[in-house]
Structure 1
Amino acid sequence: MSRPLHPTFPSHRSLSEALRAVRSREEQETLLGDEEQADPDGCLRGDGGPRPIFVPDPHSGLPIYMTIHRIRRVILASIDDPYTTDQLKEPRMNILIVKPIVDRLYDPDDVSIIYCLLVNRVQFLREQSFQAHHQTVNITRANLCELVASKMLRRYDEEHSGRPGLLLLANILVGGFEPFQNCPSEVARENRHALAWSLQSRGGYEGKLTSLEIAIISESKYFLSGSACQKVVDAVYRGRIVYTPNSFIDILPDHYKHKPIALYDPRKAPLLNQYRLIVPRSRNIIEVCQFIILLVLYYICMTNRDHTQFTGYEICFTVYAAGWVLDEFASMLEHGWHVHTQNLWSFLDITFVVIYTLYLIIRLHGYATNNLEEGRQALDVLSIAAPILLPRLAFNLMPENMLFISLRAMMADFTALSLIAVWCFGGFLLAMKWLSMGNSSVGLGDAPDPLTISKWMLWIWFGLDGTGIQEAPSFHAILGPVLMVTYAFLGNTLFLTVLVSILSNTFSKIAADATAEIQFRRAVLTFEGVKSDALFAYRPPFNILALIILLPLKFMVSPRWFHKVNVAAVRVLNAPILLAISLYERRRLWKSKKRAPSSLMKHGKASFFNFSSFNVHGDLQAVFDTDPPQSVIDQIEEEDEIEDAILENSFAAAANKDISREISPATGTQRRRRFSSVWQG
C-alpha cells in the first residue's frame, strides 16, 4: 500500500513541548533509580533476569542486505538533479523529498535503518570519485542519505523517551551490523572474500561495524552534530552506557565475555572494575597523564644526554616510549587507519612514532658496533621530536579550540600544495643545472651543485634572500636571469598567493560550522576511546610485559582461565586508578532525582553560605534556581495553545503558497509519478 505523496504540514511545536524536550535531555543524568537489578559487572538488566556471559547478537535477524539495496533504489529514484545541502534543507524539498522518504523508511522495530543509510552515503561518495559526469548528483544523493538519517534519528529520539529511548538510540548508533547480513546464499558464496576479512573469532560478531563508525569515515558532520546523536555520544563518553566494542584486529584478544548495550550502575559494580579503564572520559584523562610522563622523561633524557653510553634517564625514556608507541600502534589496529587519522592529534603521534623508531634503530646499531658518532646522530634525531611533543600537549588540553581544529585541516592542504609545487618547480632546478654545465665561461668543477641551487630557490620562495637572482647570469647570460625571475614570480608571488587563499578558504569553512566540527571531533574521540583489546588496560611500559607474557599464555590455557589471569593482572597493576574511578563515579556519574528545596534551605541557615546572594546580579541566577509553580505553568501553556494555533495556520498557508508558486504542474506531476512508483514498488 502506497503512502500519500504530500504529507500534512507538521504542526508548530508549542513552547511547552519544546520545554519538555529540553527537560528530557537534562533528565538523562537521572535515569538511574535507587532500586535497580544489575549484573555483577554493573550492567542493568533490561528484563530483570541474569544474562549469559557471552550475549549473542540481538540484531542478527535484521535483513540488512535487503535494506541497503532498498534504500539505494529509493534514493536513486528521488534525486536526478544536483542540489546543494542548503537546498535539500529547505521546507519545499523537505515536504517533497525528505519527509516522504523518512516516513517510508521509518520502522521503530528496525535499528539498522540508520546504518544502511550511512552505508549508502559511503557508496555514493565513492562513486562520485570515479564518475566525473555524475559527480554533483552523487554528492547530492550522499547528502540526502545523511539528511534522512539525521531526521530519522531525531524521530526515534522524539518518539521514545526516558531509559528505553536512550537504549534504543544506543543500539542504533553503537550496535554492530554487517552489510551482507541475511543475504541470499548465492550472494554469500560470491562474496566469501569480503565476508572473511577478520581472522579472529568473535562468536558471531565478526565483521560488525557501527553506525557511529560509518558516520565518522564518511565525515557525516551534520548527522553527528544532531542532538540525538550527541546524547548517545555523551553517554558513552561518560560511561553511562557500556557495551563491548568490535575492532579490526586485537593484539591481545580477550573475547571470553561480551556485554550487551546497557546502562551502567557503579553502585552495583565491583570496586575494582577493570572495564572502566576503557571508558572514553577515563581513558582520555589517563592518556593525558601518560603523555605528560613521556614529555617529562623526554626532557630529562635530552638535558642529560650522553652519546657515549646509555644513561639511566635514557633507558627509562626508551622503555617508556616503547610502551607508548606500542599503545599507539594498537590504536591504529583497533579501528583501522581511516578512523585513527580522524583524531585531532593523530598526525603528531604518527610523526613521533617515526622519529622514535629512527632514533632507536640508529642508537642500537651504534651501541652494537661501538660507533660513538652514530650515538650522537641518534640523539640528534631524537631532539627534533621537541616541536612535535610540546604542541601535542596543547592539542590534548584544548581539543575544542578552533585554531587547533583548523590547523589540522590546513596542514593537510599545505602539505599537498607544497608537494605539488616542489614537483612542478623541479623543472627549474634541472634547467638551471644543465645551463650551468653548458656554460663555457664557468669551469665544470666551479658549477654550482643541485643542493646549492635548491638553497637559492628556497630562499627566493620564502622571500629571504635574492642570491639566486644575482647568480643567475653564471648559468646563462640571458636564459639564466629569465628562468630565475620567472621562478620568483611563480613561486614567491603566485604560489604563496594561492596558498594563502586556499588556507583562508579552509579556515573560513571550518569556522563557519564550528559547532559541527567540534562535535565531530567529540564523536571521534569517544569512538576511539572505547577499546576491546585487552592490551589497552595495561599502562606503558607494562603493556610490553603483557604482550611478552600474556600473548603466549593465550595459546596455552582456556579462554576462561586466560580471562581470569588477565583480569587479575589488570586489577593489581591499576588498583589505585580503578579505586579513584569507582569512588568518583559512585558520586558523580548519575545524579539523584531533583527534589524541591525546603523553606529552611531557601531562607534559613543554608542561605548564609550562598555567596551568589551577595552579588548585585544574583537575582538573575536565583530566578532559575527553582521551578515555577504549577499555576504559572498552566497559565503559560494556555497562552501558548492560542498562539500555536495562529502560528500553525499561518505557516501552513505560507507553505502551500510557496509550493504552488515554485512547482509547475508538469514538474509536480512528473515528481508525483516517480515517487508513486517508488513507494508502490
Structure 2
Amino acid sequence: MGVESVGSSPRSSFDLDENDPETALNPHADENDTAVPLFPLRRLDQDGNHVGSFPLAGSGNAMSVYVTMHRIRRLLVAAIDDTYTLDELRAPHMDRLLVRPLVDRLYNPGDPALVYCLVANRVQFLRPRSNEAFHKGINESRALLCELLATRLLRRFHEDHPGRPGLLLLANILVSGFDPCDTAPEPVRSRRPRWAIQERGGHERKLTALELAIISESKMLIKSPACQLVVDAVYKGVVVYTPLSFVDFLPDHYRYHPVSLYEPRRAALLNHRRLIVPQLRNIIELVHFAILLVLYMLTVAHYGFGGDMSGVRIYETLFNVFTLGWVLEQFAAVVEHGWEVHVQNLWSFLDVTFVVIYATYGLIRSVELLLADDPFYALPALCTAAPVLLTRIAFTLMPDNIVFIALHAMMRDFTRLTFIAIWCFAGFVMALLLLARTSGDLNVGVTWATITKWLLWIWFGLDGTGIERAADFHLILGPMLMITFAFLGNTLFLTILVAMLTNTFSKIISNEAAEIQFRRAVLTFQGVKSDAIFSYPPPFNMLALLILLPLKLVVGPAAFHHINVAAIRFINAPVLLLISLWERRQLWAKGSKTRRLKFWRYLKFPSLSPHRDIQAVFSAEPPPDVIDTLEKLDPLDELKAELELVGPHTPRDSTRQSSRRRETSDSSSHRRSDG
C-alpha cells in the first residue's frame, strides 16, 4: 500500500539512554533529537563497480547479494563434509576452529545483506533434491551452520551498533528486501520464473531475511535477542516500513516507505498506515472475526430454534455479505506471501476448514435458491462450522499458549498420516465391496457406505458388526480381511499415530520458548500488510475491489493513490481517530511516568544506600596505571594462548580418542597374552 510522507517520518527519538538496546523500543522522543540515518546498501553493477554507499564509519565495501550468496555456499561446502548436530557445532572446540573463524571472515559492518544470504543458503540446503539424497545429512548440517552463523552475525551487529541507530540497522537487516539476482549474469536471470510482476518502483522480486527465516523455520535465529528486538519493535509499530509481497489484489505502490522509526508527534491525525501495525491489526481482525461469529450464531440459532424464515433470511443475508468480505481478506493473505508462510500461522488450518465448509454451504444454497426458497440442506451444513469458529476464537485470544502451538504442529502430522491411512485402507473397502457383489448370502442393499461405516467402527473400537458379518462376504476371505484391517487400523496405525504425536509434542515442550517466539514472529510478519485491500474492513473490501480496481486502469498512479488514501481514511475515520488519541495518550502517560519516577528516586535518597560503594567501583573503567598493573599481573594474550592449548574437544573427538585408547589397551593385552 502506498505511503504518504506526511503521515510518518524516517526518524524517531527516545526518552531513555540510547546506548541501552532495550530502550530502543520506546517510541517516544525528545524534542531536540536528530534524525537517524537510513542504511542504503552498497552494490556492484555488472562491471564490478560500486554503486552507492553504506554510510557507516569504518565500514568495508559490501559485495552484491549474488556474489555473497555464492561466497557463503563455497565456504560452507568446503568447511562441512560430514554430518554434525547442532550441539556438536556449538561445542567449544568447533566454535574455536570453525564457527568463530567463519564469523570473523564474513562479518562486514557495511553489508546488512549477510544474514539474508546465510538464510537463503539455509533454504537451499534444506530444499529436497532427488539427485543429492546421499548428501542429505551433510546438507542439513550445512543448513544448521548457516543458521548458527546468521545468529552470531546478527548478535555482532547488535553489539557493535547499540541504541536507536542499532535498532534501525537490525530492522534493515531483517525486514528490508534484497534481490538475490542483483548482479547475476543474464543466463541466471533468464532462469527466473516468468510470472506477472507488479511494478514496485525497483523493489520487485525482493525477499526479506525474516521471511526466509520463517520459511526455513530458523527458530534459533528468530529467538535470538537481536531478532526479538526487531520483531517486538515491528509488532508495536515502532519500526515501520512498506512490506514486500508476492501479489496484491489492490496494489498501490505509488510511494515506498523505507524502514524507519515511527514518531507519534510528527504523525498525521488520521494516519492510515497504522492499520497495518501488527499489534493494532490483530485487534482489528479480532473484532472482524467477533462480528462474523455473532452473525453466524444469529443465523444458525434462529434456524435451529425454529424461528420464522423471514428472520433467517435477514440474518443469513447479513452473514453472507460479511463472510464474503472476510473470505476475500483471507484469500488475499494467502496470496500476499504464499502458502508456505501462511501455513505457519497458528490458526491457518481452522480458517481453511471454515472456508471449505462455507464454500460447501454456498454451493448447496445456490442450488436451493434455483430450485426452492427453503434452506433444507444448506443451513444444516453451515451448522457444522460451529466447532471450527469457537476453536478459532480461542486460538486468536491465546496465540502464545503452548498447547495451541503444539496442537497446530500435531494437526499437520495427524492430517498427513490420516491421508496415508485412508489411501491405503481404501483397498479394503474395494475388496469387501467386490466380495459382496459376488456373494449371494449378503444383502444386495449393502453398499460401500455401509462397509465404510463398519470399518470405521472397527477402527475406533466402537462396534464389531463388521466382524460378525464378515463371513457373509466370503467364508474365508471375509473374516481374513476384517481381522487384518482390525489389526492394522486399531493396533498398528493408532500406535504409530500416538508415537508420532507424542514425539512432536515432546519436541515442542522441550523448546517452548523458541516455539512461542517463532509464532510471534510469524504473527508479526503477516500483520504488516502490503495490499491496500486490508485497509478496508469487510464488506467494504469487496466494494473497493469492484470500484477502485477498474478505476486504477483509468487514472494515473498519483491520482489513484490519493483516491485510495481518502477512501481508507473516510471509511476508517473512527478507528484511526481512536488509534491516534491512544498513541498520544500513551505518549503523555510516558512523560508523566518519567517525571514520577524521577521524583520517587529523589525521595528514596539513593546516596544513603550501603551498596552504592559497590556500584561506584564498577561504574567506570579503572585508570591507565591500574590497567597497566593488571596487565603485568595477568597478561591476557598469554591467557588466551593457554586456553587454546588446553581447549576442550568435541564429543565426537572424545569418543574417537576413547575408542582409540580402548583399541590400544586391547592390542597391548593381546600382545602380553601372546607373549
Give 1:251 deviation, angstroms.
0.8
Shift of 1:562: 1.2
Going from structure 1 to structure 2, the CA distance change for 1:430 and 1:21 (only over 3 Å counts) comes to farther
Where in structure 1 are there 5+ consecutive unaligned residues?
A: 1-19, 39-43, 48-55, 608-621, 669-681
Amino acid across the alignment from 1:163: R
Is residue 17–residue 23 contact of structure 2 (8 Å, CA) maintained in 1? no
In the alignment, the residues of structure 1 paired with residue 601 and residue 392 of structure 2 have an alpha-carbon distance, to the nearest angstrom, of 47
Per the alignment, residue 73 of structure 1 pairs with: 74
Verify the 8 A CA contact 1:307 1:376 in the aligned structure 2.
no
TM-score relative to the length of structure 1: 0.82
- 1-side partners of 2:647 and 2:566: how far apart? 68
Which residue of the partner structure matches residue 330 of structure 2?
328
- Measured in 1, the distance between the counterparts of 2:259 and 2:134 equals 44
User: Could you tell me whether the CA contact under 8 Å between 1:435 and 1:475 is conserved in 2?
Assistant: yes
1:139 and 1:71 map into 2 onto residues whose CA distance is 15
8 A contact 2:157–2:170 mirrored in 1: yes
Relative to structure 1, is the Cα distance of residues 660 and 550 closer, same or farther in structure 2, using a 3 angstrom cutoff? closer
> In 2, Cα distance between the equivalents of 1:516 and 1:386?
32
Distance, in Å, in 1 between the alignment partners of 2:464 and 2:88 is: 51
Q: Give the aligned partner of residue 377 of structure 1.
A: 377
Equivalent in the alignment of 2:165: 164
Note the 1:434-583 alignment, pairs <5 A.
434-440=434-440, 442=441, 445-446=443-444, 448-583=446-581
Which whole-Å CA distance do the structure 1 matches of 2:207 and 2:125 have between them? 18
> Does the 8 Å CA contact 1:225/1:519 hold for their aligned counterparts?
yes
How far does residue 21 in structure 1 lie from its aligned partner after superposition? Answer: 12
CA distance in structure 2 between the partners assigned to 1:424 and 1:218 by the alignment? 31
**Does structure 2 retain, via aligned residues, the 8 Å contact 1:307–1:379?**
no
* Cα offset, 1:652, TM superposition: 7.4
**Is contact 1:30–1:593 with CA below 8 Å preserved after alignment?**
no
Identity of aligned residues (%): 51
- Answer yes or no: is the 8 Å Cα contact 1:111–1:171 preserved in 2: yes
Within 5 Å, give how 1:149-298 maps onto structure 2. 149-188=150-189, 190-191=190-191, 193-194=192-193, 196-298=194-296
Tell me the amino acid that sits aligned with residue 430 of structure 1. Answer: M
1:346 equivalent to 2:348? Answer yes
Task: Tell me the SS of whatever aligns to 1:432.
Answer: helix
Is 2:614 the partner of 1:632?
A: yes
Determine the structure 1 residue equivalent to 2:418: 418
Mapped to 2, the partners of 1:447 and 1:464 lie a distance apart of: 23
Corresponding letter in the other structure for 1:145: C
Q: Contact conserved, 2:93 with 2:650, CA < 8 A, in 1?
A: no
- The answer as to whether partners of 1:62 and 1:110 remain within 8 angstroms in 2 is yes
C-alpha contact (below 8 Å) 1:177/1:210 kept by paired residues: yes
2: distance between equivalents of 1:423 and 1:598?
66
Post-superposition shift, 1:437?
3.3
Distance 1:661 1:138, change over 3 A: closer
- State the alpha-carbon separation in 1 of the partners of residues 171 and 156 from structure 2: 14
Aligned residue pairs total: 609
3-state DSSP of counterpart to 2:122: helix
How far apart are 1:429 and its partner, in Å? 2.3
Cα shift at 1:90: 1.1
Q: 1:406 to 1:661 in 2, by over 3 A?
A: closer
The separation in 2 between residues aligned to 1:171 and 1:566, in whole angstroms, is 28
| 1:171–1:261 contact (8 Å) kept in structure 2 | yes
CA–CA distance in structure 2, aligned partners of residues 602 and 116 of structure 1 = 48
> CA separation of 1:663/1:552 partners in 2, compared to 1, >3 Å: closer, same or farther?
closer
Q: 1:589 to 1:223 in 2, by over 3 A?
A: farther
Report the Cα distance in structure 1 between the residues aligned to 2:250 and 2:351, rounded to whole angstroms. Answer: 22
Contact 1:436/1:447 (CA < 8 Å) preserved in 2?
A: no
C-alpha distance 88-594 of structure 1, shift in aligned 2 (>3 A): farther
**Secondary structure, in 3 states, of the residue corresponding to 1:343?**
coil
Partner Cα distance (1:646, 1:458) in 2: 76
**Closer/same/farther in 2, CA of residues 236 and 225 from structure 1, 3 Å limit:** same
Cα gap change, 1:474/1:22 in structure 2, threshold over 3 Å: closer, same or farther?
farther
State the SS of the aligned residue for 1:267: helix
Counterpart residue type for residue 427 of structure 2: G
Counterpart code for 1:327: E
Distance between the aligned counterparts of 1:128 and 1:628, measured in 2? 66
Q: Give the aligned residue type for 2:425.
A: F
Give deviations 1:365-423, integer Å, cap 9, x for gaps: 32133353xx3211122111111100000000000111110111111111111121122
| CA displacement at 1:222 relative to structure 2 | 0.8
Q: 2:584 matched to which residue of 1? A: 586
Q: Could you tell me whether the CA contact under 8 Å between 2:237 and 2:278 is conserved in 1?
A: yes
Q: 1:657 aligns with which of 636, 642, 646?
A: 646
Retained in 1: the 8 A contact 2:264–2:584? yes
Deviation per CA, 1:294-317: give whole Å up to 9, x if none: 100100011123796662111111
Deviations 1:436-456, CA, capped at 9 Å, x for gaps? 33335x15x547322212111
Q: 1:120 to 1:600 in 2, by over 3 A?
A: closer
- Deviation of 1:476 after TM superposition, in Å, equals 2.3
Q: Which amino acid aligns with 2:567?
A: A
> How far off is 1:594 after superposition?
8.5
Contact 1:266 1:585 (8 Å CA) reproduced: yes
Partner amino acid, structure 1, of 2:21? R
- Distance in 2 of aligned mates of 1:582 and 1:627: 43
- Give the Cα–Cα distance (whole angstroms) in 2 for the partners of residues 645 and 477 of structure 1: 91
CA, structure 1 residues 61+541, in 2 after alignment: closer, same or farther (shift >3 Å)? Answer: farther
The answer for unaligned runs of 5 or more in structure 2 is 1-15, 39-50, 55-60, 658-675
For residues 597 and 270 of structure 2, the distance between their equivalents in structure 1, rounded to whole angstroms, comes to: 37
Q: CA deviation at 1:30?
A: 4.0
1:516 & 1:115 partners in 2: Cα distance? 20
Could you say which residue in structure 1 is the equivalent of 2:22? 26
Alignment of 1:337 onto 2:319: no
CA distance in structure 2 between the partners assigned to 1:470 and 1:124 by the alignment: 54
The amino acid of 1:263's aligned partner reads L
Aligned letter for 2:367? Answer: H
How far residue 45 of structure 1 moved from its aligned partner, in angstroms, is: 5.9
Give the counterpart letter for 1:635 in structure 2: V
CA contact (8 A) 1:323 1:544 kept: yes
Report the AA paired with residue 100 of structure 1. P
CA contact (8 A) 1:129 1:135 kept: no
State the structure with bigger RCO (CA 8 A, min sep 6), 1 or 2. 1
* Distance in structure 2 (CA, Å) of the matches to 1:254 and 1:100: 45
Instruction: Show the counterpart of 1:319.
Output: 321
**Aligned mates of 1:285, 1:174 — CA distance in 2:** 23
- Conserved in 2, the CA contact under 8 Å of 1:65 and 1:183? yes
> Which range moves more in the overlay, 114-123 or 594-603?
594-603
Shift of 1:646: 11
Q: Does 1:46 align with 2:22?
A: no
Q: Which amino acid aligns with 1:34?
A: D
Counterpart of 1:657 in structure 2: which amino acid?
V
Would the aligned equivalents of 1:198 and 1:206 in 2 still touch at CA under 8 Å? Answer: no
Deviation of 1:78 (Å): 0.3
Change (3 A) 1:294 1:351: same
